[in-house]
Amino acid sequence: MTRPTLTGSPDSVPTVELDDLLESGDLELIDRWLAQAGVVQIADELSRLPREQRAVPFRLLGKDRALEVFELLDPSLQQELLEGLRDTSVRQLFEGLDPDDRARLTEEMPAKVARRLLAGLSPNERQLTATLLGYAEDSAGRLMSPEVASLRAGMSAADALNRLRRIGRSAETIYALPVTDDQRRLVGALGLRDLVLAEPTTPVGELMDTDVYSARVDADQEEVARLIREADLLALPIVDTEDRLVGIVTVDDAMEVLEEEETEDVARGGGAEPLGRPYLTTSVLQIARSRVVWLLFLIVAATLTVNVLQLFEETLNRVVTLALFIPLIIGTGGNTGAQAATTVTRALAVGEVRFDDLGIVVLREARVGLLLGAMLGLLTLGPAWVFAGREIGIVVSLTLLAVCTLAAFVGAFLPLVARRVGVDPAVMSAPFITTLVDASGLIIYFLIARTVLAL
Amino acid sequence: MTRPTLTGSPDSVPTVELDDLLESGDLELIDRWLAQAGVVQIADELSRLPREQRAVPFRLLGKDRALEVFELLDPSLQQELLEGLRDTSVRQLFEGLDPDDRARLTEEMPAKVARRLLAGLSPNERQLTATLLGYAEDSAGRLMSPEVASLRAGMSAADALNRLRRIGRSAETIYALPVTDDQRRLVGALGLRDLVLAEPTTPVGELMDTDVYSARVDADQEEVARLIREADLLALPIVDTEDRLVGIVTVDDAMEVLEEEETEDVARGGGAEPLGRPYLTTSVLQIARSRVVWLLFLIVAATLTVNVLQLFEETLNRVVTLALFIPLIIGTGGNTGAQAATTVTRALAVGEVRFDDLGIVVLREARVGLLLGAMLGLLTLGPAWVFAGREIGIVVSLTLLAVCTLAAFVGAFLPLVARRVGVDPAVMSAPFITTLVDASGLIIYFLIARTVLAL
């Protein structure tokens, strides 16, 4: 799937790819490629190159485009790129970044490199970065930019526009304009749209909305980002404990936080830790490391199934046919459990369900499981009967009914409990639920078998 | 988890919940609760109420707040709410919506209700909605708003601001301003920020960026939304086949498209179809329906395992102990496959990997699988030896090595192939990979067992 329908010059890119050009080593061709490609595409291509090849095309970009591309890169790649560039060019680049982006970068950098970079900044810029670094990790203080353009209620719309023309260049955004009193306390906010559309003489105090969202510097970044998305805000003012305006978080920074969180949830949902960097730049060892802890945990849990089966070895010895249905039964249980867990985890993530709803959700999922189990049980009765005789057909059929109900119940219960005790609900993933349901499914299977077959 | 750190009036909400107040039937209390709650919270609470209880609190909201709350609701709930309200109030609400939101709503509405609603619009508003409805579903044309504020290159900054003051109120956004020539062809774009910060006499042609992103009306909504997110745009101009400006897509609409897509991916990743509406308002039957097709497909695929085991029934009869390790082996294979599939599907979704990378990705995952399999095989050798003897220990150990390698390979291969043939890669989910790997894992297990045990 290419982008045939996207038009405009940033997309009318050549079909040759950057890595092929780098192989050829023809700098002029690379230069021409870079001139024709959009910044998003350049960033994409850089992310796909091996580490040592990234510096060359990056150095060929003009200063402004280099900064644009740099800001689009993953933080881990930004860091590697900085380490690879010579001192003076690093400083230029660093000075041009927004303070909040700079802080995020510094945090993930070895102390030595960070010190070297901070040394290159003007006192004003350095102080901004340091202030940011004072706030706790994952707090709104780290995400916000302190370069906020604020207004006073007494100004006229024309005064406000003049003020913006003076101070607006260094502000993170001027689309959302917090309004403060003379103690810098937040009293309202105004969109640039309303300011531009207003009669020039109208005072800001009349234009502003006094019923505005804000968040404290120590608020959780993810909650702040969700609020921005749910309320469709362009930016959210950040205040200290005394309600004084200290910064602003913009929608694009919020989206990045949410995407990172989403990637984490997806990885855990598949039974692995997030890689934290683009896939193609991650080594085989790093990928294996992100999965091994989970896999070890799951295989230890799976030894439970060996013990359960050993308990019923005598039954198995007498009716080996029972073994034939083991994968089908635990597989179906696992799938039903995974479905319930995925649905409930997602509903929790987007706020459609809370822990208070435990009773309703668990009961509802158990009913869904019963319904699905009854259907699957009825459908398999015939084929299993023909294949393995009436008794075993009945055993398989009844087991599916019971296992599906149990699996859906467990799949709904565990994510809710995880959220309650402060664990990421995505950890209660398909692999986790499957392993857990396997052992109990086997017990149910053999108990039903013993009863029906009168063993 | 409440929101202790979010401050400002919309969050200083009472601890009582809306459903409790509705039980009590005290309208005055409900009114007071609504006055104190923020629009996001009201929308949240409405989503959690049963259908017939939603109209009352909604009618108690003032017209402006009602519209704000309405726009935050899920489209399926918007529709139910409209059906439940009396005609005149419905019309007021509908007239106040943005045309693109209105189109999305109309599309999902029974034809009769849609006609009734369209009848209530002014001719101008109705034409806008109809134009939108002419474009294909999931195209940018459906997502965009035709109410776009555009400028001409010859205007001065002051002229442009005056023009915005005149026409800006009805525009979807004035933060991103496309610039056109006299044939309405897109020639550049300008952020409101740059316009406000500019000297009043500077011509728009000097301020605008000529190297701008745009998309065609027939472009895929999801690609458009991804472009907006990747390039950090506030809005994207939409053009027709002759490059004439026809509308604009804003960042908040793009975010909604991406969230919907993400929800779909997550659901499919868990082996189910997305519900398409908030969890608590979905009936047990609807939930079961979203899962049953997948479950049926998976159980039919799982019958393959029964057939495989039947092939080896003789071997099983001789060494029943082999049956004890079946769940552990297929479980571990399934987990390794799910990890690989989840990682690759996510990398595809965020654009870190393309089909061209098939060779690299598959080889890399096979190496990860080999590494993990070798480790798990070594770790289980001891315990399995003690538990079931040297031969079976070796069989289990070798099988884990082979199954992990195979599972990681298949888990990486299938999502890439799915993308290539135009199927959603998320469909190659954990449950799907697990079921597929189960049968081949069993074959490997018994072939190794026959060889080692010399059966």
CATH architecture of B9-133: Alpha Horseshoe (1.25)
Interchain contact, A331 vs B11, CB within 8 Å? no
Higher per-residue pLDDT: A54 or B6: A54
Give yes or no for residue B234 having a pLDDT over 50.
yes
Helix/strand/coil for B189: strand
Strands B151-152 and B176-180: parallel
CATH code reported for the domain at B151-259? 3.10.580.10
Each residue of B350-407: pLDDT tens digit? 778 888 889 999 999 999 999 999 999 999 999 999 999 999 999 999 999 999 999 9
**pLDDT score, position B13:** 46
How is B414-445 classified by DSSP, letter by letter? HHHHHHHTTS-GGGS-HHHHHHHHHHHHHHHH
Each residue of B236-260: pLDDT tens digit? 999 988 888 988 999 888 888 888 8
Interchain contact, B287 vs A368, CB within 8 Å? yes
Each residue of A63-98: pLDDT tens digit? 678 778 887 888 778 877 777 766 666 667 777 777
| Nearest-by-Cβ selection for A371 from B174, B284, B438 | B284
**Which of B164, B180, B339, B375 to substitute to test the interface with A, most A CBs within 10 Å?**
B339
Mean pLDDT of A99-106: 73
Give yes or no for residue A372 having a pLDDT over 60.
yes
**pLDDT score, position A139:** 86
- For chain B, the structural domain boundaries read 9-133, 151-259, 283-453
Burial of A91 (0-12, 13-18, 19+ CB in 10 A): middle
Residue A38: other Cβ atoms inside 10 A: 24
Measured between CA atoms, the residue of chain B closest to residue A278 is: B352
**pLDDT score, position A9:** 43
Mean pLDDT of B268-279: 80
Mean pLDDT of B310-318: 91
Mean pLDDT of A425-453: 86
Q: How confident is the model at residue B432 (pLDDT cuts 50, 70, 90)?
A: confident
3-state helix, strand, coil in chain A (%, to 5): 70, 5, 25
> How far from the centroid of its chain's Cα atoms is residue B323's Cα?
41
Interchain contact, B367 vs A323, CB within 8 Å? no
Q: Distance (Å, rounded) from C-alpha B362 to C-alpha B356?
A: 11
Each residue of A46-69: pLDDT tens digit? 888 887 778 778 877 876 787 788
Each residue of B45-74: pLDDT tens digit? 888 888 777 877 887 787 678 778 887 888
Interchain contact, A367 vs B214, CB within 8 Å? no
Alpha-carbon gap: B336 to the closest alpha carbon of chain A (Å): 7
**pLDDT score, position A297:** 86
**pLDDT score, position A348:** 85
The pLDDT > 70 percentage for chain B reads 87
Mark out the alpha helices in A250-283 (DSSP H runs).
251-269
**pLDDT score, position B87:** 60
Q: Distance (Å, rounded) from C-alpha A244 to C-alpha A246?
A: 6
Residues 6+ apart with CB under 8 A from A307: none
Mark out the alpha helices in B168-283 (DSSP H runs).
192-197, 204-207, 221-230, 251-269
Residues 6+ apart with CB under 8 A from A339: A408, A411, B270, B271, B272, B291, B294, B295, B431
Q: How confident is the model at residue A110 (pLDDT cuts 50, 70, 90)?
A: low
User: What does DSSP assign to residue A357?
Assistant: G
Mean pLDDT of B280-301: 87
The structure's pTM equals: 0.73
Q: Distance (Å, rounded) from C-alpha B361 to C-alpha B352?
A: 11
Instruction: Check: CB of residue A427 under 8 Å from CB of residue A418.
Output: yes
Amino acid letter, B200? P
| Nearest-by-Cβ selection for A269 from B224, B227, B342 | B342
Q: How does the average pLDDT of chain B come out, rounded?
A: 84
Interchain contact, B383 vs A303, CB within 8 Å? yes
Give yes or no for residue A158 having a pLDDT over 60.
yes
**pLDDT score, position B182:** 85
- CATH class of residue range A9-137: mainly alpha
**pLDDT score, position A115:** 60
Of A140, A134, A158, A160, whose CA–CA distance to A149 is shortest? Answer: A160
Give yes or no for residue A3 having a pLDDT over 60.
no
ipTM value, please give it: 0.73
Helix/strand/coil for B348: helix
Q: Contacts of residue B8 in chain A, CB cutoff 8 Å?
A: 186, 212-215, 239
Each residue of A238-294: pLDDT tens digit? 998 888 898 899 988 888 888 888 888 888 877 788 887 888 888 888 888 888 888
Strands A245-250 and A151-152: unpaired
**Which of B1, B2, B3, B6 to substitute to test the interface with A, most A CBs within 10 Å?**
B6
Measured between CA atoms, the residue of chain A closest to residue B288 is: A368
Of B193, B10, B15, whose CA–CA distance to B2 is shortest? Answer: B15
Give yes or no for residue A1 having a pLDDT over 80.
no
Q: How does the average pLDDT of chain A come out, rounded?
A: 84
Listed range (A426-435, B126-135, B172-181) with the worst mean pLDDT: B126-135
Each residue of A408-438: pLDDT tens digit? 999 999 999 988 887 777 776 777 888 888 8
Q: φ and ψ at B186, to 5 degrees?
A: -70, 125
**pLDDT score, position B373:** 96
Mean pLDDT of A185-190: 94
- CATH class of residue range A283-453: mainly alpha
